[in-house]
Amino acid sequence: MIAAKALLGNSSWAAITLLASLACADAPPSQRGAVRADSAGVTLVHLPPGHADELPTLTTRLIFSTATLEDLQLGEARSLSARFINDTLWAVAQGQEIWLLTPDGTVVRKIGRAGEGPGEYQMILSLGITRDGNLLANDFMSGRVTEVTLDGEVRRIVPRLATYADGINNLPLTDLPGGRLLVLPMQWRPARAAFQGMEGERYPRDPVPLLVYDSTGAIVDSVARWPGIERHDGMVVPFARSVLHHNRDDAIAIGPTDSLSVSLFEGTALRLRLTSPRTTAAPDEAMRAARDRALVALMGELGQVVVDHQRSLPGPEHLPAVGGLVLDTEFNIWVGDYLPSGGVLRRWVRYGADGTPNALLRLPGRVDPLLPGPSELLDATRTHLLVLTEDEDGESFVEVHEVVGG
């Protein structure tokens, strides 16, 4: 999207998607969708079932893993953040530091240190990328957001965001003009007083609003909201549906896992809505048993307590349909199928900025048995992927894969 903007100057989003549509005019009928731009400048794409069945499949090869860096200990996957800044540089957060690396694993620089002053962090939970290519670091312990350049210069510090006082930590997505931020509340905890009431079909679901904060950390606008994680008595239910999101510069892709229904925003403006029906079956006993075993392996005795508590809960009538969402450096949207515990390979479909499907990818799946946590695909460029892996002790690693075919 941003690359297209650079070529077209101030041309509209509709013109960008028109060019992309023309480029795909010869695609097989199964890959075509109904594409139109309405009067509000929103492109609506509805694709039929099976639209990705005949797409070319990408192949990759491993070129680097953080397992080779003894000083880089990434810990638990759920609190890991790794992002491509551009085609030649990526960043990964480790506690109080941000490491900058090239795709082949060369360490370019380390940014940050432990502490509470400017450029210091207690625990970096997530990284965002600004429109200028700087980093937004979200400190989990303080609730503070810091914009820092790739040279380590602190550009601004946003104090605790308003919702932090309600016990809700946040995931900063990107910056807006005037020092504002687009932010989502984190789904890992039950909904608090600030965000009550979004009913699900069987279980209540945490509402997930896309919020605008000003430079002081105060909420100044709410853009939209989605049904998040399904819970029962505050606890996540088995095979819970949720909402996934990923950002790049001033663009945000977000959608619930119930079906393929992704909204792409440019700043606060909706630009694309991509939908396609997906029918999933109910979880069977083998899936339930695999999920219970994985939960106990992850959490030990507490995991068994959770399993015993949830045993009497009625199961969902359908599994989630989507299990991963990534917006890459060229603003392709990658959508991963839902993969239950015990699954091996996840299928990813790549869609262009106009919503046209253009490639398939299969990766060994990473599944969190309790929460809809990060999937195995963390980020992507045209030529490289950041892939999350874990060893038998739960230690996380980031691999760089090069796209070599497809």
Q: Quick one: pLDDT at residue 189?
A: 54
Task: Find the length of the chain.
Answer: 406
Maximum average pLDDT range among 34-48, 89-103, 303-317:
89-103
Task: Report how many domains make up the chain.
Answer: 1
**What is the mean pLDDT of the segment spanning 9-30?**
45
Residue 27: pLDDT band (50, 70, 90) is low
Least trusted range by pLDDT, from 45-49, 180-184, 355-359: 180-184
User: Quick one: which H or E segment has residue 128?
Assistant: strand 124-129
Instruction: Say whether pLDDT at 61 is over 80.
Output: yes
Residue 172: pLDDT band (50, 70, 90) is low
Non-local CB neighbours of 261 within 8 Å, separated by 6+ positions: 255, 273, 274, 275
Whole-angstrom Cα distance, residue 205 to residue 183?
A: 19
334: domain CATH number is 2.120.10.30
Least trusted range by pLDDT, from 109-113, 166-170, 254-258, 374-378: 166-170
Non-local CB neighbours of 26 within 8 Å, separated by 6+ positions: none
> DSSP readout, 28-57?
-GGG--EEEE-TTS-EEEE--TTTTTTPPB
> Order of strands, edge to edge, in the sheet holding 333-337?
322-327, 333-337, 345-351, 357-364
Buried b (16+ CB within 10 A) or exposed e, 77-101: bebbbbbbbeeebbbbbbbbbbbbb
Instruction: Say whether pLDDT at 66 is over 60.
Output: yes
Average pLDDT, the chain: 82
**What is the mean pLDDT of the segment spanning 10-28?**
45
Least trusted range by pLDDT, from 81-90, 155-164, 225-234, 269-278: 155-164
Q: Quick one: pLDDT at residue 386?
A: 97
Question: What percentage of residues in the chain have a pLDDT greater than 70?
Answer: 83
> DSSP readout, 220-243?
EEEEEEEEEEEEETTEEPTT---E
Q: How far is CA 12 from the centre of its chain?
A: 26
- For 172, the domain range is 2-405
Task: Kindly report the pTM of this predicted structure.
Answer: 0.88
